[in-house]
Amino acid sequence: MPSIDRTLFRAARVLNVLVSYLPGGILRMVLKWAAFAGLAAILRGYVELNYWQTAAGVFAVYLATGGWKFTWVVIRTLPEISGVLLRLTYRLSGLHRQKKLVHDVFRDNVKKHPDKIAFIQEEQKWTFREMDNITSKIGNYFFERGYRSGDAVAIFMDNTPEVVFLWLGLSKIGVVSALINFSLKKEGFAHCVTVSKARALIFSSKLVEVVDEGVSRLSPSMDFFCLGSLSSKPNFAFTDLESVLGSTSALPPPIIDGRRPTDLLLYILTSGTTGLPKGAKITHSRYFLMGLGIYYAYGLRTDDVLYTTIPLYHSAGGIVGVGQVLLNGATMAVRSKFSASRFWDEACKYNATCIQYIGEICRYMLDQPVKPSEKQHRVRVAVGNGLRPQIWKEFQSRFNIPQIAEFYGATEGNSNIVNMDQVPGAVGFTSRIVPWAYPVSLVRVDEDTGEIIRGSNGLCIQANPGEPGELIGKIKVGDPIRDFQGYADESATKKKIVFDVFRKGDRAFLSGDILVMDDYGNFYFRDRAGDTFRWKGENVSTTEVEASISNIVDLSDVCVYGVEIPGTEGKAGMAAIANLTVDLVKLNRNLQEMLPPYARPIFIKLVQSVTVTGTAKFQKTALKKAGFDPSLKENDRVYVMHPSTRQYEPVDPTTYQDIIHGKLRF
């Protein structure tokens, strides 16, 4: 067929020019001949009406001219997508179809193994049967007191399994629980109880002083219930919950008709990206998604023993961790407070097969001297978030942990992702092949303002691989994976939704985090957007800290932001105060009374004034760049919360070097 040969010859000359732009050497030669062979197959297949040959030729040309990269992504990632998403979707669909609630699934596990240990704390153990009896007593007692479906109760407890018993028992009668951070003080505590619209407060005897200080800010009609023995009587009336539960029936509470998985289960108080903490709505279906998603993604088992030091008021501890017990029948060992020196000893003591971490915990453990227990444990998987890429391999190798189960997610959002392939430093993964399967995306934002950048058509612009962008999750109402329930405060909910994303009328959840994606769909964390930074595993609201400091320093302008300290997780708080005569001793004392430890600024900078934008917002970009380096002229009055004196001390060149090189640790 001379005509075909002539055509091939001409096409080859064109291909020679195109391929000349490819990398040199052997690779260019291979791609050139692959493209030529593919073109020949296309033409011969067309003439001979052999469509399979034509298709094969098209594919060969596609591969040779750059498509090999995308094809490799397909081969590399498709099994992960299909396996996890199909199993998760199937399980969630079944739970919705059967109208199951969290306590229903827990009850199924009670029937399977009533005498199996559900929770352990120190020397105390609770079986699934005992836990079921306790939670039924709680449900029956509050039902007898007149609490009904839709009422809210705030739970202010230290880190103990009893937190779970309380909210699960209340859930049995449809009462929504608000989990309050036990580190909160005064205004923060009162705000969280109030925003949850709680009818009652259940508190630990260990936290009675905080309640006593904040009770005047709460509703006068609120009921108070104490768990634990008190050494002295507070200035308000309360019920001894442990005493009254002793005489309450352990039979199943009354069944509430008409309940669905889309009903509210919990409020988890989260700072989000702006302002004071907000009550994120957690439905039964969202609890299923988070608890089961981790289970399927990382191959967790019903015979796992999960050791956690993570607070149970957090979604990481209270949903991802506790969910393995309630939904999957695993066992959880809870420690009231993290201890780096005892971590591996206790992991061995409880025969833990799974541990929970946040990035800061990993660094603390690596700072400990080597001990036998760190390799004598049975841990096969570590579940958590924030493990820095710089210490990932060292952490995994030193402590002999086969699998790191890193994940990312906003408590209230629909943009949760998991790093299924253990790529060091990646916080999660999404498919670039079938993006509709789990629609999370990165959109371009202005680096200075954090505002979303839109194209000439008014729509958001998707960030390319390697380009920073804010993570968003497309909202689909009624879908257990893609819906966004929002907050108790409707105005706060509206601030987290962006409209007209990739087409007119669509909506998405704004995560408030800046991430970067690689060619394979792996995400890497870059920074927090908005007025929030992360420190000690907690989100710190700059506006909340600014308001607290401003009240202390006679309403002077205060600008709070996060600065990086080498070798630490997150960003340390720094406050620029437009007042050169601030009493730092008084400021420190008042901050200890008003703010939890993680929210108190590590650095204080006294300035003549702080620059504001045309819209009256503080200009923080230059302040962040200046940091706390005393060699810079603008940093001539910078102070640090010294770890030894626990007072604000001047940052001189020696102190600065000690901080930079890790001699001063925070």
DSSP codes of every residue in 628-663: T-TTSGGGTTEEEE-TTT-SEEE--HHHHHHHHTTS
Q: Do 556 and 605 meet the contact criterion of CB atoms below 8 Å apart? A: no
In the sheet that holds 572-577, the strands lie side by side as 558-563, 572-577, 603-606, 638-641, 648-650
pLDDT of res. 8: 45
- Assigned domain for 329 exists: yes
- Assigned domain for 438 exists: yes
Give 532's contacts (C-beta < 8 A, 6+ positions apart).
271, 272, 273, 274, 512, 539, 540, 541, 542
Q: Is residue 229 located within the same domain as residue 214?
A: yes
Q: Is residue 600 located within the same domain as residue 548?
A: yes
Instruction: Give the CATH number of the domain where residue 162 resides.
Output: 3.40.50.12780
User: Which domain range does residue 33 map to?
Assistant: 2-78
pLDDT of res. 483: 82
Report the half-sphere exposure of 292 (CA within 13 A, side-chain side): 23
Of 339-348, 437-446, 650-659, where does mean pLDDT reach its minimum? 437-446
Phi-psi bin for 72: left (phi > 0), alpha (psi -120 to 50), beta?
A: alpha
Q: Domain total for the chain?
A: 4
- Assigned domain for 88 exists: no
Using pLDDT thresholds of 50, 70 and 90, give the confidence band for residue 448: low
Q: State mean pLDDT over 224-245.
A: 93
β-pairing verdict for 381-385 and 403-408: parallel
Q: Is residue 163 located within the same domain as residue 255?
A: yes
d(CA 398, CA 382): 13
Q: State mean pLDDT over 109-116.
A: 98
Token pair 């052999």 is found at 50
pLDDT of res. 575: 94
E-only strand ranges, 379-488: 381-385, 403-408, 417-418, 428-429, 440-443, 469-474
Q: State mean pLDDT over 316-328.
A: 97
Of 75-84, 181-190, 246-255, 515-524, where does mean pLDDT reach its minimum? 75-84
- Assigned domain for 520 exists: yes
Q: Is residue 538 located within the same domain as residue 521?
A: no
Cα angle 138, 193, 308 (rounded to 5 degrees) comes to 65
Which of the listed residues 377, 412, 447 is the one where a domain comes to its end? Answer: 412
Q: Is residue 180 located within the same domain as residue 43?
A: no
pLDDT of res. 4: 45
Q: Is residue 515 located within the same domain as residue 576?
A: no
Q: State mean pLDDT over 171-190.
A: 93
Q: Is residue 222 located within the same domain as residue 304?
A: yes
Q: Do 455 and 106 meet the contact criterion of CB atoms below 8 Å apart? A: no
pLDDT of res. 232: 83
DSSP annotation string for 209-226: HHHHHHGGGS-TT-EEEE
Q: State mean pLDDT over 188-202.
A: 93
Q: Give the 3-state secondary structure of residue 350.
A: coil
Residue 547 has pLDDT above 50, yes or no: yes
Using pLDDT thresholds of 50, 70 and 90, give the confidence band for residue 612: low
Q: Is residue 524 located within the same domain as residue 407?
A: no
pLDDT of res. 360: 80
Say if pTM beats, i.e. exceeds, 0.75: yes
Q: Is residue 602 located within the same domain as residue 619?
A: yes
Residue 256 has pLDDT above 60, yes or no: yes
Residue 375 has pLDDT above 80, yes or no: yes
Which of the listed residues 528, 558, 593 is the one where a domain comes to its end? Answer: 528
Residue 54 has pLDDT above 60, yes or no: no
Q: Is residue 199 located within the same domain as residue 320?
A: yes
Report which secondary-structure segment, H or E, holds 40.
helix 25-47
pLDDT of res. 176: 98
Instruction: Give the CATH number of the domain where residue 547 resides.
Output: 3.30.300.30
Residue 293 has pLDDT above 50, yes or no: yes
pLDDT of res. 3: 47
Q: What are the distances in angstroms from CA 263 to CA 139, 211, 267?
A: 17, 29, 12
Q: Is residue 128 located within the same domain as residue 242?
A: yes
Closest C-alpha among 623, 592, 588 to residue 609? 623
Of 21-30, 182-191, 319-328, 405-414, where does mean pLDDT reach its minimum? 21-30
User: What size, in residues, is the chain?
Assistant: 666
Q: Do 159 and 206 meet the contact criterion of CB atoms below 8 Å apart? A: no
Q: Do 226 and 203 meet the contact criterion of CB atoms below 8 Å apart? A: yes
- Assigned domain for 201 exists: yes
Which of the listed residues 495, 528, 561 is the one where a domain comes to its end? Answer: 528
Residue 29 has pLDDT above 50, yes or no: no
d(CA 83, CA 72): 18
Long-range contacts (CB closer than 8 Å, 24 or more residues apart) made by 422-425: 423/520, 423/522, 424/389, 424/392, 424/393, 425/388, 425/389, 425/392, 425/524
d(CA 211, CA 423): 45
As beta bridge partners, residue 432 has: none
Closest C-alpha among 511, 355, 522, 527 to residue 427? 522
Q: State mean pLDDT over 228-240.
A: 91
pLDDT of res. 24: 47
Residue 47 has pLDDT above 50, yes or no: no
d(CA 275, CA 530): 10
Helix axes 2-19, 25-47, angle to 10 degrees: 150
pLDDT of res. 12: 47
pLDDT of res. 72: 53
Q: Is residue 269 located within the same domain as residue 368?
A: yes
Pick the residue with more confidence: 169 or 521? 169
pLDDT of res. 511: 87
* Average pLDDT value for the chain: 85
Give 331's contacts (C-beta < 8 A, 6+ positions apart).
116, 117, 118, 119, 120, 304, 305, 306, 325
- Assigned domain for 601 exists: yes
- Assigned domain for 419 exists: no
Instruction: Give the CATH number of the domain where residue 507 resides.
Output: 2.30.38.10
Q: State mean pLDDT over 322-337.
A: 97
Exposed/middle/buried for residue 547 (C-beta within 10 Å: 0-12, 13-18, 19+): middle
Residue 134 has pLDDT above 50, yes or no: yes
Helix axes 186-195, 584-594, angle to 10 degrees: 30
